[in-house]
């Protein structure tokens, strides 16, 4: 479904992606992991068209997407930081986004699920971080798209909202959707991810299941297995 071919990106003298090659098959949950500065965010932004690579290509559903825009109507994105216009109400924001995308929305169902009915008339600038993240999730899941990209989706969520998020992710997976997740919460990765992709210094050092990484690193704890992988590369 997605193929990154020989992707290079630098910002000045800083090399962020260094000849990265990655293929993501259609259907399933893929966790993109790596320490800060490993290239995760840049990789995602290249896929979204927010960053243009210096070299290489990105193929989405068998078509190159570099400097294109129409493909983005078939993907949903949840940014790490819910940076909304503070003067808009929750409902005004939702309606504005619905007007921008020519797709049927299931926003009402998600508003009910995350208990946002009493917040619809509140200004976004007055919301707590957790409530903003719930709005963020509604915007990310209210359209039917084949690709869903979630950047740190668990930020600020209470236990009940987190349960609902996991349920939605599994529901979308059951429909054959492809879901990319970046997160630092390893328990979340172990619970939802079918495969993990581990980046370091702009290159991929592991792609496979959680169990395969644990076996390769000879460690039953995912956090320790990843720490060992990093240490091995810098040894």
How far is it, in rounded angstroms, from Cα 35 to Cα 54?
A: 23
Task: Give yes or no for residue 17 having a pLDDT over 70.
Answer: yes
| CB 39, CB 223: distance < 8 Å | no
Q: What is the pLDDT of residue 48?
A: 93
Structure tokens given for 195: 């495969």
Give the range among 60-69, 149-158, 213-222 with minimum mean pLDDT: 60-69
Domains annotated on the chain, with CATH: 2-234 (3.40.50.300)
Q: What is the pLDDT of residues 141-196, one digit of tens each?
A: 999 999 999 999 999 999 999 999 999 999 999 999 999 999 989 999 999 999 99
How far is it, in rounded angstroms, from Cα 119 to Cα 79?
A: 21
Task: Give yes or no for residue 233 having a pLDDT over 90.
Answer: no
Pick the closest to residue 33 from 182, 195, 153 (CA basis): 182
Q: What is the pLDDT of residue 71?
A: 87
Q: What is the pLDDT of residue 72?
A: 87
Structure tokens given for 13: 């003298």
Q: What is the pLDDT of residues 93-140, one digit of tens each?
A: 999 999 988 789 999 999 999 999 999 999 999 999 999 999 999 999
Task: Give yes or no for residue 235 having a pLDDT over 80.
Answer: no
């Amino acid at each position: 479904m997605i193929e990154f071919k020989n992707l290079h990106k630098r910002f000045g003298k800083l090399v962020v992606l260094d000849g990265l090659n990655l293929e993501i098959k259609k259907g399933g949950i893929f966790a993109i992991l790596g320490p800060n500065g490993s290239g995760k965010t840049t990789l995602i932004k290249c896929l979204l068209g927010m960053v243009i690579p210096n070299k290489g290509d990105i193929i989405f559903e068998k078509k190159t997407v570099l400097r294109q825009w129409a493909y983005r109507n078939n993907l949903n994105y949840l940014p790490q930081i819910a940076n909304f216009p503070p003067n808009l109400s929750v409902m005004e924001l939702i309606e504005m986004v619905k007007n921008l995308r020519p797709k049927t929305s299931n926003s009402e169902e998600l508003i009910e699920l995350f208990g946002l009915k009493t917040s619809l008339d509140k200004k976004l600038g007055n919301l707590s971080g957790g409530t903003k993240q719930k709005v963020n999730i509604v915007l990310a899941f209210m359209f039917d798209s084949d690709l869903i990209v979630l950047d740190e989706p668990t930020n600020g969520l209470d236990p009940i909202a987190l349960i609902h998020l996991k349920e939605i992710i599994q529901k979308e997976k059951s429909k054959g959707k492809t879901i990319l997740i970046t997160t630092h919460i390893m328990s979340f990765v172990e619970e939802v991810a079918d495969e993990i992709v581990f980046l370091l210094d702009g290159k991929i050092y592991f792609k496979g299941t959680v169990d395969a990484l644990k076996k390769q690193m000879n460690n039953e704890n995912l956090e320790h297995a990843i720490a060992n992988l990093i240490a091995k590369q810098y040894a």
